[in-house]
């Protein structure tokens, strides 16, 4: 079962999520058109007056490498997504930059003294951690643009003191232990002081998932967050997989293996397509190990009249844009299933 489809009114206001079969019917009858490919969103051709929408909640299971998202309506999970962060790439890039700077200090070049007395500004976060925070915030804003969200539930990891004292605790003993009532107090604090956002413990998430016999995954963990995750119905079995790719870097000049500036080449400006765009390519004949057919691929390098795309692990050069159909503009993410 696929994810449910987001639906927008003609004025781009949010409507209820619809079943994929209903989405295909609206498109076949010419009543709606595709507004966005990832996540798949339709927009109606005629305005719906005074629409009555249901209440939806975004549930998030944040992690260091992967984060899970789920959209719930009642006890039904209608949308699931798993987001892969690029914190390791950010960290390795900073280490590489530091290595180049250290190497330049040891050569017969202008001396640049180390600065040990610099202080981090208030509220400073490590770049990899800040990336995770901003990325999750970005996707929350995206979902709120496509879905009438009324609540946000996030798993907040806490130490499980009951497990430390008694590793064999389970069932009713786990629910009515020394922390009984803490979730209620936390809920009241969130409700009256920090409106629309609820924080829940990771222990509750695991208990909800295990008690329902669900498999371990980031999006299912997100669906099991909080009290509403105690009894859920999964209406989708295939989460959308999103990987953070970024928009390049701010490096002014590329360097060689020794850290010296590489020879600068004139960079051509292409307007028909750019790296990171997702396109649909029709190949009429075999090219190396690539079979003929229609492929959805990500643009690697634009060329003068076409582009290079990656298909089944091979870089395929498309000489013309005649058989290339644009699907999704580069937004710093790659999508898959």
User: What are the pLDDT tens digits along the chain (337 aa)?
Assistant: 789 999 999 999 999 999 999 999 999 999 999 999 999 999 999 999 999 999 999 999 988 899 999 999 999 999 999 999 998 888 888 888 888 777 777 776 666 666 777 788 888 888 888 888 889 999 999 999 999 999 999 887 655 556 666 666 666 655 555 545 455 445 545 554 556 788 888 888 888 999 999 999 999 999 999 888 989 999 998 899 999 988 877 777 777 777 677 776 667 788 888 888 889 988 877 666 667 888 888 888 888 888 888 888 788 888 888 888 888 888 888 888 8
pTM above 0.85, yes or no: no
Q: What is the pLDDT of residue 177?
A: 57
* CB-CB contact of 308 with 300 (8 Å): yes
Q: How far is Cα 199 from Cα 158, in angstroms, rounded to an integer?
A: 11
Q: How far is Cα 58 from Cα 138, in angstroms, rounded to an integer?
A: 13
Q: How far is Cα 249 from Cα 275, in angstroms, rounded to an integer?
A: 13
- How far is C-alpha 286 from the chain's CA centre? 34
How far are the Cα atoms of 115, 151, 280, 290, 309 from residue 283, in angstroms, in the given order? 56, 46, 10, 9, 12
Q: What is the pLDDT of residue 71?
A: 95
Within 10 Å of residue 47's Cβ, how many Cβ atoms?
Answer: 10
How far are the Cα atoms of 87, 116, 157, 200 from residue 61, in angstroms, in the given order? 17, 37, 10, 10
Q: What is the pLDDT of residue 289?
A: 60
How many CA atoms lie within 13 Å of 37's alpha carbon, on the beta-carbon side?
A: 17
Pairing of strands 56-61, 149-155: parallel
């Amino acid at each position: 079962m696929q994810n449910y489809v987001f639906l927008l009114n003609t004025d781009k206001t949010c409507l209820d999520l619809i079943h994929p079969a209903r989405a295909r019917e609206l498109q076949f009858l010419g009543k709606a058109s595709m507004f966005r490919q990832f996540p798949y969103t339709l927009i109606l051709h005629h305005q719906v007056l005074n629409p009555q929408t249901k209440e939806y909640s975004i549930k998030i299971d944040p992690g260091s490498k992967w984060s899970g998202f789920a959209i719930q309506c009642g006890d039904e999970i209608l949308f699931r997504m798993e987001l892969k962060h690029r914190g390791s790439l950010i960290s390795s890039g900073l280490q590489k930059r530091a290595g180049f700077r250290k190497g330049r200090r040891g050569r017969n070049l202008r001396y640049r003294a180390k600065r040990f007395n610099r202080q981090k500004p208030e509220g400073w976060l490590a770049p990899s951690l800040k990336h995770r925070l901003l990325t999750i915030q970005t996707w929350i804003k995206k979902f709120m643009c496509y879905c009438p969200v009324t609540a946000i539930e996030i798993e907040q990891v806490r130490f499980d003191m009951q497990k430390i004292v008694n590793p064999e605790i389970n069932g009713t003993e786990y629910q009515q232990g020394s922390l009984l009532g803490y979730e209620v107090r936390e809920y009241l604090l969130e409700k009256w002081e920090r409106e629309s956002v609820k924080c829940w413990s990771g222990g509750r998430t695991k208990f909800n998932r295990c008690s329902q016999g669900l498999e371990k995954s980031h999006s299912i963990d997100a669906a099991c967050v909080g009290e509403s995750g105690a009894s859920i119905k999964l209406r989708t079995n295939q989460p959308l997989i999103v990987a953070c790719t970024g928009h390049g870097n701010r490096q002014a000049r590329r360097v060689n293996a020794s850290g010296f500036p590489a020879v600068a080449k004139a960079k051509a400006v292409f307007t028909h397509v750019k790296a990171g765009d997702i396109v649909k390519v029709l190949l009429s004949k075999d090219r190396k190990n690539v079979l003929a057919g229609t492929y959805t691929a990500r643009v690697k390098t634009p060329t003068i009249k076409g582009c290079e795309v990656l298909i089944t692990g091979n870089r395929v050069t498309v000489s013309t844009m005649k058989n290339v159909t644009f699907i999704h503009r580069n937004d710093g993410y790659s999508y898959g299933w």
